[in-house]
């Protein structure tokens, strides 16, 4: 096994310089850092994580709490978190904060208190006072992502504004018969994302003096299949006849496009469709959407906690809402001309 002394000899520096260069902690000239990097690579040297942890008191590991592990959005954000951490030599540990009260209590009372992480990122989780207290007791940086938090640094997402912008786009094209695919109460969990997006939809209609039509509201489950089923029910109703549809997630919007195709409804000639999220399939379906840049959200979250762990690093401003952008593609157009 290659030792740190061998790397130091080959690079022509001290072992302390090798340690600082490879850990990213402490001041090392760029020339020395590069010599250490080349020497370590040529010898196949990898610093011992356990030894580094003992020496520094750090695990170089960040814990990420997520409500779901099998949803596209969370996977995209985690991809950004992981990429940013890996660039700085940190590992990531995932913790599923399920709705089950006993499992969630164990997570905060047992697993996180084993002190295996240097920081914690809570992704799209509305933490209660007891849970926030448990995290504060860890004595490590904690960041909430996806919503505001009264006691923690946060990178919130303005779901209300995103939905309002999406609906305003349809209204600007001349649509007034706008359907909405949202979610039932069982999906309205942390930060009440479905409720916020529905409120944004309704506010945009109110701004344009367009009444909400109850027959144009349909609940789904934020999946492609759920969007397909909800849009199929909607388009089959004799009293519906929307000229546009806003789905509260891109996956539901894609499902709605597939449902429209199956019924012979042309998109966008007969029905305009817009979603929210910035899903990777959006470009394939030429879906008009509100892109919330989920991968970049993860990168910003990682950068924010790394700045707390390594103060010399630059950090994004915390407690400011994350950006979003209207991306107009081929699924929205003015409503069909009346005969």
Q: Which two tokens stand for residue 316?
A: 């994004």
272-277 vs 178-183, strand pairing mode: unpaired
Helix (H) / strand (E) element for 258: namely: helix 250-262
3-class secondary-structure state, position 62? strand
Question: What value, to the nearest 5°, has the Cα angle with vertex 119 and ends 117 and 124?
Answer: 115
Domains of the chain: 4-56 (1.10.260.40), 61-157+294-309 (3.40.50.2300), 159-291 (3.40.50.2300)
Peptide bond preceding 221: is omega within 30 degrees of 0, i.e. cis?
Answer: no
| pTM recorded for the entire structure | 0.81
**pLDDT tens per residue across all 339 residues of the chain:** 677 888 888 889 888 888 778 766 667 888 888 888 888 888 877 665 444 443 445 678 999 999 888 889 999 999 999 999 998 889 999 988 887 888 888 888 877 777 688 999 999 888 888 888 888 888 889 999 987 777 888 899 999 999 999 999 999 999 999 999 998 766 665 557 888 999 999 999 999 999 999 999 999 988 999 999 999 999 999 899 999 999 999 999 999 999 999 999 999 999 999 999 999 999 999 999 999 999 999 999 999 999 888 875 455 555 577 999 999 999 999 999 875
pLDDT at position 21 is 80
Q: Are 205 and 199 in contact (CB under 8 A)?
A: no
Spatial strand order of the sheet with 217-220 comes to 217-220, 178-183, 244-247, 272-277, 288-291, 325-327
Cα–Cα nearest to 146, from 204, 213, 67: 67
Residue appearing with tokens 């005969």 = 339
3-class secondary-structure state, position 212? coil
pLDDT at position 186 is 62
CA–CA distances in Å: residue 125 to residues 97, 184, 192, 210, 213 = 8, 18, 10, 34, 32
pLDDT at position 52 is 47
Cβ-based neighbour number of residue 131 at 10 Å = 20
Q: Are 297 and 143 in contact (CB under 8 A)?
A: no
Long-range contacts of 129-138 (CB under 8 A, 24+ apart): 131/104, 134/108, 134/109, 135/108, 137/113, 138/112, 138/113
For residues 264 and 150, give the distance between their C-alpha atoms in angstroms, rounded to a whole number.
Answer: 49
pLDDT at position 137 is 85
pLDDT at position 262 is 97
pLDDT at position 317 is 53
Residue appearing with tokens 């909800």 = 230
Cα–Cα nearest to 164, from 228, 208, 216: 208
Centroid of chain to Cα 188: 17
Sequence-distant (6+) residues with CB within 8 A of 147 are 124, 126, 154, 156, 157, 190, 191
pLDDT at position 55 is 44
Half-sphere exposure of 307 (CA within 13 A, CB side): 14
């Amino acid at each position: 096994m290659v030792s740190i002394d061998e790397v130091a000899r080959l690079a022509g520096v001290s072992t302390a310089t090798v340690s600082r260069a490879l850990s990213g902690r402490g001041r090392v000239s760029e020339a020395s850092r590069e010599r250490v990097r080349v020497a370590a690579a040529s010898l196949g040297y990898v610093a011992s994580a356990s030894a580094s942890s003992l020496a520094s008191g750090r695990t170089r590991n960040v814990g990420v709490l997520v409500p779901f592990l099998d949803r596209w959005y969370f996977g995209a954000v985690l991809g950004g978190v992981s990429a940013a951490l890996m660039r700085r030599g940190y590992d990531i540990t995932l913790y599923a904060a399920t709705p089950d009260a006993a499992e969630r209590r164990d997570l905060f009372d047992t697993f996180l208190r084993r002190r295996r992480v240097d920081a914690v990122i809570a992704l799209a989780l509305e933490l209660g006072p007891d849970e926030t207290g448990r995290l504060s007791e860890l004595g490590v940086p904690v960041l909430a992502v996806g919503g505001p938090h009264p006691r923690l640094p946060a990178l919130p997402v303005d779901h209300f504004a995103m939905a309002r912008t999406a609906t305003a786009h349809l209204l600007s094209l001349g649509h007034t018969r706008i359907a909405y695919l949202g979610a039932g109460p069982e999906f309205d969990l942390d930060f009440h994302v479905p409720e916020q997006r529905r409120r944004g939809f309704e506010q945009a209609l109110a701004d344009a003096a367009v009444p909400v039509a109850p027959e144009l509201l349909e609940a789904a489950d934020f999946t492609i299949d759920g969007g397909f089923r909800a849009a199929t029910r909607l388009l089959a109703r004799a009293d519906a006849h929307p000229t546009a549809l806003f789905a509260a997630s891109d996956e539901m919007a894609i499902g709605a496009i597939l449902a429209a195709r199956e019924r012979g409804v042309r998109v966008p000639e007969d029905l305009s469709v817009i979603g929210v999220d910035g899903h990777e399939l959006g470009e394939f379906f030429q879906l008009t959407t509100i892109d919330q840049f989920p991968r970049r959200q993860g990168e910003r979250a990682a950068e924010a906690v790394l700045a707390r762990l390594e103060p010399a690093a630059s950090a994004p401003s915390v407690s400011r809402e994350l950006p979003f952008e209207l991306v107009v593609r081929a699924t929205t157009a003015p409503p069909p001309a009346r005969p």
